[in-house]
Each structure stands twice: as structure tokens, then as C-alpha cells.
Amino acid sequence: MRVLVIGSGGREHALAWKLKQSPALSALFIAPGNAGTDFEGQNVPVDAADIEGIVRFVRSNRVDLVIPGPEQPLMLGLKDRLAEIGAPCFGPDAYAAQLEGSKSFAKDVMRAAGTPTARFEVFTDIEKARDCVREWGAPIVVKADGLAAGKGVVVAKTEEEALDALERMMIRREFGDAGKTVVIEEALCGEEVSFLALCQDDTVIPLPSAQDHKAVFDNDEGPNTGGMGAYSPAPVLPDACAAKLVDELIRPVLRELKKRGHPFTGILYAGLMMTKDGPKVLEFNVRFGDPECQALLMRLDGDILPIMHAAATGSLAETSLSVKQEASLCVVLAAKGYPNSRYAKGMHIQGVEEAEALGAEQGGEVKVFLAGVSQNHGTLVASGGRVLSVTALGRDIAHARKLAYAALERIRMPMGHWRADIGMKGLNR
């Protein structure tokens, strides 16, 4: 099978690494890829947002399956265009991709599906939004309606902080058109967890639970990032709860989308808050999370390519998924200054092979997935905010955590930053 993965981050390196293990794979392309994916398959110079360029490549290279990593190409209608040429795509169409691309759309679907979520209001008028903040009080959540690279959500502890968020989103347009519309929500109390599922129409195969760490600093302090680490399983969401969550949170949304004429295919990712009243959906994504993908793929046993192909071609119900009993943990090495736009770049990276060797030395497995990394005459060079993710598989969370941080110490990169508390919530439970 000839496969094209779309994207250039750590998630795409993880997907390419896992797909490369498949006996069914005959050729693997990554567009545009990074220095890590170049080791797994063939990088091709096509941007993830270049829908027509992707379609031309799929045609000319006889690609059997397209797997988008990020949400952008899905929102731009990649699935729809590929359907026109009969090319299978592991992902939803542009309409269903609005579950991630528009928070107000997602809330409308949740309301229609009866999905448990926070009380909310949608605004395009800043004065009305300000009135809502003053009426509801703090803490309160302000969200840019569109995509903002994981940074368009402000959990305001004071009314002043919420009003400032409205100013930045709606007036100063720090997130561009994504902030033209805002969603204001009640602040839910509890612990966050990620629940992902492979979906195709009415068929749902849940993945193991995972917990992301979005804030840039320890103890969930500082601004939100695209993700500073993850681990799986998350004790706050036991495996025994998966079937119930599928019935209460996932299938109702799939039924609502199907009723609207847009059955869903691909990964449906529910970001949950485990409240005293039960789990409530904070948001939906329509693809693997990053870095949850890295942690989850380390735990998936066997060949995922036939499963993804089955979902994209309408036969997911005929497949099954096997999960390793071990735990996994992923720590992101970021450039100092991230997530601000002025972060360090150009640092040389050494020690990746030494880090990966540590897994076998200590009774586990370590894989370093590259993200914001390029090659310069054979040398790895930092080129993005999130540079790489050190991912370990161990007997349990404690063992995986020990391996990941020990491996991270073997990597040498000036001006690097990472959180030191990934997985501690799980251990404390």
C-alpha cells in the first residue's frame, strides 16, 4: 500500500514511524515532513495547506491512502477533493471538520446531540461579550471561535483578565479572523483528560486514555502551548469507562453529523473535564493530538495501517485494535521563549541516538520524535517552537517517566526548555 502522511510535526513523525512497521506498506510519503520523517519515508515538498498540490501528488504517485496529521487540510476540504478522484482519506470532510475549526459550531452540535458540556454563549459584539463577563463573573473561559494553534483559550481567574482576553481577540485580533467570534463558557472544575476514538460512521473503536499538559511551565502555570507532554493511560479515566463514554459522548455526535448528511471518518478526540457531575466535553478535535499521538502510538500493538485504511474505505467494523499493557510518557523539548513568537532557533541538537539506546538498557523502549527540526549537512538543527518529544514505554507510569527524563538528559541542545512534572498527576493518583 502506498501511503501519504500530511504534516510536519512530532505527531507526523510518530505516524510515519508506526506506519513504517506495517508489512502492508510499499511506499511512504510525508508532505512536507521534517528531519525525523525523512528517516521513515520520503519527504515531498508539498505544503499541508496546498490542497490541489496534494491532489496532484496523490494522482501522479498512485497513493492508496492519505492520512492528514493536522486539522488545517481537513478544514480546507482535503477529504472532499480526494473523494472526487476516488482516493481514500483517513479524516472527516470539511463540514464535519468544523467540530475543531469552529468552537461555536462544535457547541451547536453538542447541544443538538445532548452532549454534556459547559454552559456557553457565542458573541460577535464585544460589548455584549463584556456584559456577559460582568454578569457571570470569574473564573470564566474565553475562547476564540477559530483555530489559534492551541493558544486561543483563556481561563480567566478575574473579570479583568477575561475582559483583556476579549480585547486581544476581538479588537487587537491577535489570532486574526479566529477571534472575530468568541465563545464564553463557565469554568469547569476538575481534571482534564483526552479521550480519542477511531470512527467510521456508526463504528467506534476507543483508544487508551491520555493526559496532555498544555501550559508551558510546571504545575500548569504560564500560557497555553500546543502541548508540553502527555502520558497514557490516565488513571483519572480508567479503561472500564471507555464503553460508557463512547455511548454518551461520541456516538451521539456521530449520529448528529450523519443526520446532517456528513458521516464522520477518522479520529474524534474529546478533550474532557472530569467534574463532580461526571465527564463534560471541553472541545473536540478531528485528528490525533500532539503530543498525545506520540504516547498513544507507543502503546498500540500490531499494524495500524489496515485499520486506518478500513476506516477510510468503510469497513472499520471488520477490524480490531490491540493495546499494550505498558504505560507510555512523552516529554516535549521546546525552544526557550516558546510559545511566544520570539523563541530561540538554530541550536544544534545532539544525543538522539544515545537517548533512544537508553530504553533497551533499562528494560523499556525510548523513541525521539522530531518536530521543529531541520538538517544542515547532516546536523540536526532546531527550527520550531516545539523541537522534539522524547517518548518512553515502561512497565508503568513511574517507569516510563523515569526512562523519558533520563533519555532527555542525554540530548544536548542549548536554549532548551521542558516541563519537569509530566505524568505527576497520574502518579499522585
Question: Which segments of the chain belong to CATH 3.30.1490.20?
Answer: 125-180
Q: Going residue by residue through the chain, which has 429 residues, state the pLDDT in tens, using 9 for 90 and above.
A: 999 999 999 999 999 999 999 999 999 999 999 999 999 999 999 999 999 999 999 999 999 999 999 999 999 999 999 999 999 999 999 999 999 999 999 999 999 999 999 999 999 999 999 999 999 999 999 999 998 766 788 999 999 999 999 999 999 998 998 899 999 999 999 999 999 999 999 999 999 999 999 999 999 999 889 999 999 999 999 999 999 999 999 999 999 999 999 999 999 999 999 999 999 999 999 999 999 999 999 999 999 999 999 999 999 999 999 999 999 999 999 999 999 889 999 999 999 999 999 999 999 999 999 999 999 988 999 999 999 999 999 999 999 999 999 999 999 999 999 999 999 999 998
What is the CA angle 324-329-333, rounded to 5? 145
Its pTM stands at 0.95
Under 8 Å between Cβ of 159 and 202:
no
Which residues lie across from 379 on neighbouring strands? 376
Which residues lie across from 269 on neighbouring strands? 196, 285
pLDDT of residue 179: 92
Q: Which of the following CATH numbers is that of domain 125-180: 3.30.70.20, 2.90.10.10, 3.30.465.10, 3.30.1490.20?
A: 3.30.1490.20
Domain 190-323 CATH class label = alpha beta
Rounded-to-integer distance, Cα 387 and Cα 47, Å = 19
Write the single-letter amino acid at 35.
A
Question: Which segments of the chain belong to CATH 3.30.470.20?
Answer: 190-323
Question: Average pLDDT, whole number, for the chain?
Answer: 96
Question: Which segments of the chain belong to CATH 3.40.50.20?
Answer: 2-93
Which residues lie across from 380 on neighbouring strands? 349, 375
Per-residue pLDDT tens over the stretch 115-136: 999 999 999 999 999 999 999 9
Question: Which segments of the chain belong to CATH 3.90.600.10?
Answer: 327-428
Backbone phi and psi for residue 208, each to the nearest 5 degrees, phi listed first = -60, 155
Per-residue pLDDT tens over the stretch 136-166: 999 999 999 998 766 788 999 999 999 999 9
Among 33, 49, 70, 29, CA closest to 290 = 70
Q: Which three cell numbers stand for residue 140?
A: 470564566
Rounded-to-integer distance, Cα 61 and Cα 69, Å = 19
Per-residue pLDDT tens over the stretch 311-366: 999 999 999 999 999 999 999 999 999 998 899 999 999 999 999 999 999 999 99
Domain 327-428 CATH class label = alpha beta
Cα distances from 18 to residues 190, 279, 422, in angstroms, run 33, 31, 23
CATH number listed for the domain at residues 2-93? 3.40.50.20
